Structures are given as structure tokens and as C-alpha cells.
Amino acid sequence: MSLKVRISEDMKAALRARDADRLKAVRLLLAAIKQREVDERTELADTDVIAVIDKMLKQRRESIAQFEKGGRQDLVAGEQAEIAVLLTYMPQALSADEIERVVTEAIASTKASGPKDMGAVMAALRPRLAGRADMTAASQLVKRRLSV
């Protein structure tokens, strides 16, 4: 079953269970997926759906930071509930050792020798780490490895 179908089925289950919080988050996700499909005039594959979810997670985390600065704990709780629902659709996160191994392989496969090759390494990493690791942390790791 594709990820998009699973999300649709979860929306129906949330409707039946009258789980308003879960239903809200799943509807927002389906709307974001549909919007991207309309914009690109294509059916999204699982990797594209994961990219949409990853973007939504990043937005929620930024919102939480802003709400905490403003002292709005009620809004923080809502965003955290949405993050919990969105995380159920993300693939298993890689461990730090696995990320290091993938970065090492990418550097070797691109024959990167210095900081000027960072773009090529990141392009090789993106499909392998998308949704499974924090790309900012991976970028910092690549930068450290290439500057040595």
C-alpha cells in the first residue's frame, strides 16, 4: 500500500473514531499533498510524500519555537500533537553511525576532495537520507569531513 493510500485510510479511521486532533493533522497533510500534485500536475510517489511531510514537520518545529517565545503554550501543544501524527508516516530514522557510513560512501562515490565538492556530495546524499535524517546535521558532517 502506498503512503498516500495509507494516509487516506487513516483519515477515514480518524473520522470513524471521532479523533478530532488526528483528523485535523491528517487532513492538513492530505491537503498539502494534493496542493503539490496540482502545482506539479503529477501523482506524488512515496518519496515525494515524505518530502511534503518533512517540510510540514520543519514548519511545525519553527512554529513551536515562535509560540514558545510568545508564551503561547496552548498553541505549542497543538503543534506538538500534529508533529506526533506526522511522525507516524516518516520512515525509521537512521542512527548517527548509519548517517556517518552513508556520508562516507557519498564522499567516496563522488570523489570529493574539498569544500568545493560539497554540493555534489549533498546531491548524492539527499535521496538516500530524505526523511530519515536531519539534512542540516548531515550537511555539517560533510562540511567537517571535506575541510579536513
Q: What is the pLDDT of residue 136?
A: 83
Q: What is the pLDDT of residue 63?
A: 95
Dist. CA 76–CA 78, nearest whole Å: 5
Q: What is the pLDDT of residue 31?
A: 96
- Do the Cβ atoms of 53 and 29 come closer than 8 Å? yes
Residue position matching grid coordinates 487513516? 10
Nearest Cα to Cα of residue 110 among 78, 146, 79: 146
What is the residue-averaged pLDDT of the chain?
89
Domains of the chain and CATH, by start: 3-87 (1.10.1510.10), 96-147 (1.10.10.410)
64's grid cell:
513551536
The confidence band for 146, taking pLDDT boundaries of 50, 70 and 90, is confident
The confidence band for 137, taking pLDDT boundaries of 50, 70 and 90, is confident
Q: Is it the case that residue 95 has pLDDT exceeding 90?
A: no
Nearest Cα to Cα of residue 121 among 98, 144, 96, 94: 144
* Strand, coil or helix: 54: helix
Q: What is the pLDDT of residue 7?
A: 94
Q: What is the pLDDT of residue 36?
A: 95
Q: What is the pLDDT of residue 25?
A: 94
Q: What is the CA radius of gyration of the chain?
A: 18
Contact partners, residue 25, CB within 8 Å, separation at least 6: 81, 82, 85, 86
- Residues 30-78: tens digit of each pLDDT: 999 999 999 999 998 888 898 899 899 999 999 999 999 999 999 999 9
